Amino acid sequence: MGIRGLAVLVAFIALVLGFGSSIYVSREELFGESVSMDFNVEMEGASPQTLRFLSRLASRSIRSVEPSTRASFQSVIENLSLEELSHRLQSVPWVSQVQVRRQFPSRVEIQIRTKDPILGYVSDSGEIFLYAPDGSSFPAQRELPARPIVVTREIRLQKETRLRTRVLGLLSEIPIEGAFSLSTISELNLGKRDRVIFTVKKLGVRVHLGNELIALKSGRVAQVIDYLRGEAISDKLIDADFAKKVLVSPTTPR
């Protein structure tokens, strides 16, 4: 029996971003109208745009083996270069790890681990540009991933690599969870002399950490935020850019 008109399970992609949950993506043509790809994806927080990007890249890699609809699908699987497929996926800057396995007669398993983005620049048009700690950027998208991401509208952070690298370095030292963490920061802004100012969700508290000892200062700021929350105090500036103290002020950043 030929393969025309059949929906053949071609690939299983596990896109792993920490803990897994399942999402199913609509089928995509592989050889004309004869064979389609079905992706069962395990993921946490990846956007549909990111998922579609990887799906298209994988399908193009498989399609390049034998574009003829008259070819036996088994021959396509036999001739598929796992090394080449792995290399194409690994060449994506924000992909950190790829594993490809062939299962005859008609299955290829691809496991992908991406880098975790920590900064998202939101443009005036609503496009979101995500950045991993090492500076690699994800495809432009319309939705934030379901993981802690610090959001900014400072266009200089998209245009100026050196400034963005400094900010990513700060963010990589801030805890993911806690009173002051990537989970509780609602927005990042730039102040005078490019001071990085974080705004904490709900309280409206702004935080300045400086450029050194970020992990230590984050712990101090978390204690202050717990106190302010307990006293129902909001709209303050917490300046932790000191060696041994934290200042709380209603004034604007200097």
pLDDT: which is higher, 194 or 55: 194
Name every residue whose Cβ is closer than 8 Å to that of residue 146 and which is 6 or more positions away in sequence. Answer: 44, 45
pLDDT: which is higher, 235 or 223: 223
Q: Where are the domains of the chain?
A: 11-114, 119-249
Measure the CA–CA gap between 133 and 169, rounded to whole angstroms.
Answer: 7
Residue 223's CB is within 10 A of a number of other CB atoms, namely 12
Token pair for residue 87? 């290399």
pLDDT: which is higher, 4 or 206: 206
Indicate the pLDDT class of residue 154, thresholds 50, 70 and 90: very high
The pTM of this model reads 0.71
The 3-state DSSP class for residue 47 equals coil
Q: Are 140 and 127 in contact (CB under 8 A)?
A: yes
Measure the CA–CA gap between 64 and 196, rounded to whole angstroms.
Answer: 47
The CATH number of 119-249 is 3.40.50
Answer yes or no: is pLDDT of 100 > 50: yes
